[in-house]
Amino acid sequence: MKGFGWSREDVDAHNRRVLGGSFSQPQESEVPAAVAAHSERELHDDIMRHCDKQWPRWKYIHARMDQKSTVAVGSQDFTIFASGGRTFCIEVKTRNGKLSEDQLAWRKEMEMLGHTVHLVKSMEQFIEVCRINAS
């Protein structure tokens, strides 16, 4: 998504709109340095780059961050179709980000269907999900 860049202030403003003003930015002292450097947008971008670098390229469905969701309310940020018939449902949050009630309900219903929605807050966590679920 070249040319599409949100500043940290843009992401914070978006989160305040979506969460009804209840968003509070974590303090740097609360966030490990490796995670503090990444906004949610940057982590989304890193995950997309990782998928694009695979061969064959991993396909993914990605919920937009720049407007109200056009997918089911509460659904995960990414549905990734990886090699070997693997599928990952990934919800991305900042270090102190929490799932909304809609996201918790979606996640629970997905579990009832036998699917796991993985919550990742760093690229390291995303890579670990991929590694653990390698075929």
Q: Which of 10, 30, 111 is nearest to 91 (CA)?
A: 111
- pTM across the whole model: 0.71
Q: Which residue type occupies 25?
A: Q
Structure-token pair, residue 39? 């906004």
Q: How far is CA 94 from CA 31, 103, 111, in A?
A: 9, 15, 23
Mind listing the pLDDT tens digit for each residue in 93-120? 999 999 999 999 999 999 999 999 999 9
Number of domains composing the chain:
1
Write a three-state SS string for 14-32: HHHHHCCCCCCCCCHHHCC
Specify if 15 maps to a domain.
no
Specify if 36 maps to a domain.
yes
Specify if 114 maps to a domain.
yes
Q: What whole-number percentage of the chain has pLDDT above 90?
A: 61
CATH code, 112 = 3.40.1350.10
Specify if 2 maps to a domain.
no
Specify if 1 maps to a domain.
no
Domain that holds residue 126: 27-132
Specify if 78 maps to a domain.
yes
